[in-house]
Amino acid sequence: MEVGQGSRASAMSDVAARAGVSLQTVSRVVNGSPHVAPLTRQRVEQAIAELGYRPNTAARALVTGATRTIGLVTHNLHQYGPAQTMVGLERSARHAGYSLRIAVLDEASGAAMQAAVEDLVAESVDAVVALATYADALDAVDRLTTSVPVVTVQAGPDPRRPTVWVDQEAGARLATRHLLELGHATVHHVAGPVSSLEARRRLAGWRAELRAAGVPAPTPLRGDWTPASGLRAGQRLVERLGDPAARPTAVFVGNDQMAVGMLRALADAGVDVPGEVSVVGFDDVPEAAYLLPGLTTVRQDFAELGRRGVGLVLDRLSGSAGGGGTPVQPQLVVRSSTAAPA
């Protein structure tokens, strides 16, 4: 009978025998030690896979003081961006040999953020990742004093904290520049919630690009990231179409879900997209390519964001004081919802 099959679960000694190494070497591989030769590590990992060996995490925690668990505090999982950021973090954590313990905030308040982090620390996570995209929640992170490293994701650059982020301003400038280069006289904007740091940075990027082009910025419309709020903003944009002197021909919408509502409002009013109004979103949700018309949008690389976030956690656990480096750069994805003005 093959070792590891039958009534007994595989043990570390079985892995050592199969790989032809010592128990200490298997332990080093399981615990992520860098002090193992690549070929030896490969043999041990192959033996682990063949035997279906599962480390005893409770026993390992007693020996090392580490649970190989990362806590994640997040909010708005019904929105595409936070949900995909979580997926990217989970995959990267799993690849690094860590599990992810998730706390979902009912509200993006400082009190909720503080309580969630404290609960995760009490559960003996090795580190905490705070997906802090709202001002109050981020302020709470800055005030925290914890026994484990805390890093932030999507909070934007700040020398006071270790963080990784997508350059939201650069993405907004890409969207705005694309519309200006098509020949539109100006670009209208539907911004996200006032308290959202991502919404603030996209708003700032839109304004900066218009300013660089010497174009006055129209009064922005507001939404709350949902399609319903995009529909309402679209209805207000349609009202502006009645002003021949300031007729909108292009709009940059703060996320794709609001852009879906915008497209519906324009369709309901009989406004052709992109013949009369060009529309750009942000995020590149999977449905964006299948809308009618296909939505031009700004893509965020959530997989890379997750990889960097987990990498920053591992750096902090190893004693490195790195702050996260350069931001993840967004990419403009051009589809058929944008064109030169008629």
Residues 6+ apart with CB under 8 A from 328: 164, 165, 166, 167, 300, 301, 304, 305, 308
Shared domain for 320 and 218, answered yes or no, is: no
Whether 245 has a pLDDT exceeding 80, the answer reads no
CA torsion 107-286-236-247 (nearest 10°) is 140
Looking at the 3D structure of the chain, how many domains does it have?
3
pLDDT computed for residue 176 by the predictor: 98
Distance (Å, whole) CA 96 – CA 304: 14
- Assign residue 49 the CATH number of its domain: 1.10.260.40
Q: Where residue 1 falls among pLDDT bands split at 50, 70, 90?
A: very low
Looking at the domain assignment, is residue 116 inside a domain? yes
Whether 190 has a pLDDT exceeding 50, the answer reads yes
DSSP string, 198-218: HHHHHHHHHHHHHHHTT-PPP
Distances (CA, A) of 305 to 17, 78, 91, 328: 39, 19, 11, 7
pLDDT computed for residue 3 by the predictor: 42
Helix (H) or strand (E) holding 313: helix 302-317
In the 8-state DSSP scheme, what is residue 134?
Answer: B
Identify whether the C-beta of residue 13 lies closer than 8 Å to the C-beta of residue 51: no
| CA-only gyration radius of the chain, Å | 24
Looking at the domain assignment, is residue 112 inside a domain? yes
- Assign residue 281 the CATH number of its domain: 3.40.50.2300
Shared domain for 133 and 179, answered yes or no, is: no
Shared domain for 172 and 293, answered yes or no, is: yes
Identify whether the C-beta of residue 299 lies closer than 8 Å to the C-beta of residue 284: yes
Shared domain for 191 and 291, answered yes or no, is: yes
Distance (Å, whole) CA 184 – CA 279: 12
Q: What is the mean pLDDT of residues 117-137?
A: 88
Shared domain for 240 and 142, answered yes or no, is: no
Distance (Å, whole) CA 184 – CA 213: 12
Looking at the domain assignment, is residue 256 inside a domain? yes
Backbone angles phi, psi at 23, to 5 degrees: -60, -35
Helix (H) or strand (E) holding 155: none
pLDDT in tens, 264-322: 999 999 999 999 999 999 999 999 999 999 999 999 998 888 889 888 898 888 877 66
In the 8-state DSSP scheme, what is residue 154?
Answer: S
Query: How much is the mean pLDDT over the chain?
Result: 87
In the 8-state DSSP scheme, what is residue 195?
Answer: T
CA neighbor of 164 nearest in space, from 194, 122, 133, 191: 133
Whether 202 has a pLDDT exceeding 90, the answer reads yes
Q: Which two tokens stand for residue 177?
A: 């520049």
Shared domain for 195 and 270, answered yes or no, is: yes
Q: Where residue 66 falls among pLDDT bands split at 50, 70, 90?
A: low
**Whether the bond into 274 is cis, omega within 30 of 0:** yes
Distance (Å, whole) CA 336 – CA 166: 25
Whether 201 has a pLDDT exceeding 90, the answer reads yes
With vertex at residue 101, the alpha carbon angle to CA 96 and CA 102, rounded to the nearest 5 degrees, is 125
Whether 62 has a pLDDT exceeding 70, the answer reads no
Whether 336 has a pLDDT exceeding 90, the answer reads yes
Looking at the domain assignment, is residue 339 inside a domain? no
Shared domain for 207 and 317, answered yes or no, is: no
Shared domain for 50 and 97, answered yes or no, is: no
Shared domain for 161 and 176, answered yes or no, is: no
Looking at the domain assignment, is residue 308 inside a domain? yes
Helix (H) or strand (E) holding 73: strand 69-75
Structural domain boundaries enclosing 156 = 67-165+302-328
What does the chain come to in residues? Answer: 342
Site of tokens 């682990």 = 48
Looking at the domain assignment, is residue 333 inside a domain? no
